Structure 1
Amino acid sequence: MESHQDQKKPRILCLHGFRTSAEILRKLVGRWPQTLLETLDLDFLDGPYPALGKSDIEGIYDPPYYEWFQANQDYTEYQHFEECLDYLEDYMIKHGPFDGILGFSQGAILSAALPGMQTEGVALSKVPKIKFVIIISGAKFGGSKFGMPKLAATAFSTPLKCPSLHIIGEMDFQKEEGTALLESFLDPQVIHHPKGHTIPRLDEDNLETFRGFIEKIRELPLHED
């Protein structure tokens, strides 16, 4: 039987939150137990656009800050969404193959829509199928808060078979949205934590859920380099 060391680690592309950066997400995820992190191959990518306004984490984490796409005040119209998808695909072609996507906040909203858009053939058509997603403080395009970019119009038209792990904070302003998103996945695994809109440290129970999810992922055939 293979030991953990012998098994291929799932390769995961990590998408940061709104007006933050790859480096900031790397630091936050880095607080998870080493025993979990050493089972994953994580690649952190900066969004394609420099932040167009003030970042909530100014003064806590150093700039530069990035965003994945832009939207108007009430999220009914989106700009640069198509370019963002091209940017992601280009990176995945050059640095992949990737088995899964992890996203936080704006990165999680994007990550949640990618498997459906890929299945529909409107995004990521030149890269292998996304095998799973890890959604932290996520929400759904077309939900009560976020409108739908044109390209994502049918991303959630049928429940997604893509395995998903959702990390939802009890005090998160996006809790309701993140909970509603669960209905879009066939078999969502969920980790609840007491904090707000953040990447939580993981207690023993949460760690067990996370490990169980990764074990399930390991049973899928992972992409060969």
Structure 2
Amino acid sequence: MLSRLETALCLGREVFDAELQDVTVLEVEKTRPILPVPRTLRILALHGFGQSGECLRIAMKTGQLGQMVLDSINADLLDQYENVEWLCPDAPLQLVPDTRYEDGSLDNVDIFAWWRVLDFDMQHEHLYKSLTYLAGYLKEHDPVDGIVGFSQGAAVAMMLAAMCDDTPQRRAALLAQCAPFSIPPPQAPFKFAVACCGFQNALQHYSGFYTPRITTPSLNIVAEFDTMVSAEQSVTLARACTESTMIHFRGTHHVPTARATLREMAAFIASSCARKAFMSPPTATYTLPFECMEAKEFSTTHRFETTKKPS
């Protein structure tokens, strides 16, 4: 027979053990990780002068590039992004095909532009209308994670990235430039921006988009043999960014499609989304092999989605 004292001690120990177990379970529940809800990685892609959203989707091989992005994303984020969606809108300004083509081959071809005149020094009539249109488009498809552009579309993409910086300094600069701009930013800053054969618009009119420098991490792809947008113009655009990586490829004025370039684009997008450290020094340059133009086919869909391969 246990004494009353021994019985009390045993009961006390059982109560203590039960309380300790409850606390342990509670702590485990508190520290259990909360997995993110899988969502779409959404990328806005802007075509060049005289093209269309579908033209860029095909030229950039977005299906292949999207799968490379998913394969490159850090393992910790595989449950966060289940697919890649490309938003490829047509510019609001529709162009008329060249009437010199008498065989009617361009009658059913839709070509668009973000502004009408290809001039690097003048103020553009339709530019702000295009930026207003894209601001509404971003609000409609929010959230958009990053932006990609080619040629004229690259110039617009970097101006849109500057808009989304939304710092007091940026707002003041946009209002103080020769062509004042006051449209509020349509969303939070992009995680990344990729400019292929891009350029700055006329600084005498649009300096507020580039000073202060654009803070969105950017990848600038420079064509060494480009006769429409010089390599120097693309480099100047890259230097208007605080965090910029430059890739030089031995090609002309076209979207680079070699696997080496696509892998670099995918790695940059993935690392930006994973918030990894950027290259040091902030501006890095290297060269990729020569790439040739390829024949492309056209269809009508403007949005393309890449889904993660099943494991």
Q: TM-score range by the shorter chain?
A: 0.7 to 0.9
Pair 1:84 & 2:84 matched: no
Q: Distance in 2 between matches of 1:213 and 1:7?
A: 21
Amino acid at match of 2:89: L
Work out the percentage of aligned pairs sharing the same amino acid: 24
How far is 1:46 from its partner?
0.1
2:248 maps to what in 1? 192
Pair 1:41 & 2:76 matched: no
Structure 1 stretches of 4+ with a deviation exceeding 4 A read: 6-9
Instruction: Judge conservation of contact 2:96–2:111 (CA < 8 Å) in 1.
Output: no
Amino acid at match of 1:179: V
- The TM-score, its normalising length taken from structure 1, stands at 0.79
Q: Distance in 1 between matches of 2:119 and 2:143?
A: 35
Amino acid at match of 1:127: Q
Q: Measured at CA, do residues 41 and 156 of structure 1 come closer, stay the same or move farther in structure 2, by a change above 3 Å?
A: same
Residue 14 of structure 1, aligned match among 34, 38, 45 = 45
Q: Distance in 1 between matches of 2:185 and 2:154?
A: 20
- Alignment of structure 1 residues 1-225 onto 2, 5 Å: 8-30=39-61, 33=64, 35-36=67-68, 40-52=84-96, 54=98, 63-71=109-117, 75-118=121-164, 119=166, 120-121=170-171, 122-142=182-202, 147-149=203-205, 152-173=206-227, 174=229, 175-204=231-260, 206-220=261-275
Q: Distance in 2 between matches of 1:196 and 1:8?
A: 36
How far is 1:92 from its partner?
1.1
Q: Distance in 1 between matches of 2:64 and 2:48?
A: 21
Q: Measured at CA, do residues 212 and 37 of structure 1 come closer, stay the same or move farther in structure 2, by a change above 3 Å?
A: closer
Q: Distance in 2 between matches of 1:15 and 1:48?
A: 12
How far is 1:213 from its partner?
0.9
The Cα offsets for residues 169-215 of structure 1, whole Å up to 9 and x where unpaired, read as 111122221011111112212222211000111243x3443233122
Q: Distance in 2 between matches of 1:54 and 1:46?
A: 19
Amino acid at match of 1:140: Q
Give the count of matched residue pairs.
206
Q: Measured at CA, do residues 215 and 72 of structure 1 come closer, stay the same or move farther in structure 2, by a change above 3 Å?
A: closer
The structure with more helix, counted as a fraction of residues:
2
Q: Distance in 2 between matches of 1:220 and 1:124?
A: 26
Instruction: Judge conservation of contact 1:32–1:202 (CA < 8 Å) in 2.
Output: no
Q: Distance in 2 between matches of 1:82 and 1:195?
A: 31
- The TM-score, its normalising length taken from structure 2, stands at 0.59
Q: Measured at CA, do residues 128 and 13 of structure 1 come closer, stay the same or move farther in structure 2, by a change above 3 Å?
A: same
Residue 135 of structure 1 aligns to a residue whose secondary structure is strand
How far is 1:138 from its partner?
0.4
Residue 78 of structure 1 aligns to a residue whose secondary structure is coil
Gaps of 5+ in 1: 1-5
Amino acid at match of 1:213: F
Q: Distance in 1 between matches of 2:154 and 2:204?
A: 15
Amino acid at match of 2:218: S
Amino acid at match of 1:197: H
Q: Distance in 1 between matches of 2:266 and 2:119?
A: 38
Q: Measured at CA, do residues 113 and 196 of structure 1 come closer, stay the same or move farther in structure 2, by a change above 3 Å?
A: same
Moved more, 38-47 or 9-18: 38-47
Q: Distance in 2 between matches of 1:219 and 1:123?
A: 30
How far is 1:159 from its partner?
2.2
Q: Distance in 1 between matches of 2:57 and 2:118?
A: 28
Gaps of 5+ in 2: 1-36, 72-83, 172-181, 277-311
Q: Measured at CA, do residues 208 and 82 of structure 1 come closer, stay the same or move farther in structure 2, by a change above 3 Å?
A: closer
Residue 45 of structure 2 aligns to a residue whose secondary structure is strand
